[in-house]
Structure formats: C-alpha cells, structure tokens
A = this chain, B = another copy of it.
C-alpha cells in the first residue's frame, strides 16, 4: 500500500481542520484523481494504524481525520463553527488521568480528551 495512501496523507497535511473520508474523496475526485472511496477508507485506516493521523468521532458519529502535527501525545481544541483545530499538550490532564485511574485500581490506561469551543475569528461574527 503506498500510492494512494500518500495521496490521502498529503491532502490531510494540507488541511487546516479535521476532514471526513467522504470529504477527502470528493476533493480528490474533483481534482481529477482516479481513486475509490474504499481506497480512501483503507488509506485512512492504515495511516491511523501507523500513528500518522488522528481520528475522532463527531457527535453525529462520523469519523474525522487529521494529520498529526506533532508525533507526541496531544489533544485537540476544535472550533465547532469553522472546524479550526489546535493541537494542545496537556501534562496536567495526563497526570489527572493517571491519578484518577490508579485511585480506582484501573491499569493500562488510555484516555480521550477533546475540547470544543468557538474560535476567536468565529466569535466576532
């Protein structure tokens, strides 16, 4: 797997915010690329397995993807209006998750933390 995986990754790297599979598919097609929706899904899934993209679920249950800017563990601050996304580090949250888990006897911890809000430029309008 390589040709189309790179193409999908490239789209994601050029994107400002999270994108859905269908969304990516549509853009590639209208750019003249001859790619199938299935392949887009496969590429996204492979990229995610390799830790090169983050995936998160919208409240409506759609999976949206974004190329990670940093290789390190991080979280997201997403504008619910325009989709703009900041990657933020959260040492405090990490510690909290570990502590609260230990306190309840839970091991082998992972966590999901997403913050949603209205970004500065969207607040103005």
Interface residue ranges, A against B (CB under 8 Å): 57, 61, 63, 77, 79, 86, 88, 90, 92-93, 96-97, 100-101, 104-120, 123
Docked complex Cα distance between A112 and B92 (Å): 15
Indicate how many identical chains form the complex.
2
The 6 A-B residue pairs with the shortest CB-CB distance in the complex, in nearest-first order? A105-B120, A106-B117, A109-B117, A111-B115, A108-B118, A92-B96
Distance in angstroms between the alpha carbons of A118 and B104 in the assembled complex? 10
B117 in contact with A114 (CB, 8 Å): no
Q: Given that A63-B61, A101-B115, A112-B114 are contacting pairs, would A123 and B107 also be in contact in the complex, using a CB cutoff of 8 Å?
A: yes
Sample of 25 A–B contacts (CB below 8 Å): A57-B57, A57-B61, A61-B63, A77-B100, A77-B104, A77-B106, A88-B104, A92-B92, A92-B96, A93-B93, A93-B96, A93-B113, A96-B96, A101-B117, A104-B120, A105-B119, A106-B117, A107-B120, A107-B123, A108-B117, A109-B116, A110-B115, A110-B116, A111-B114, A111-B116
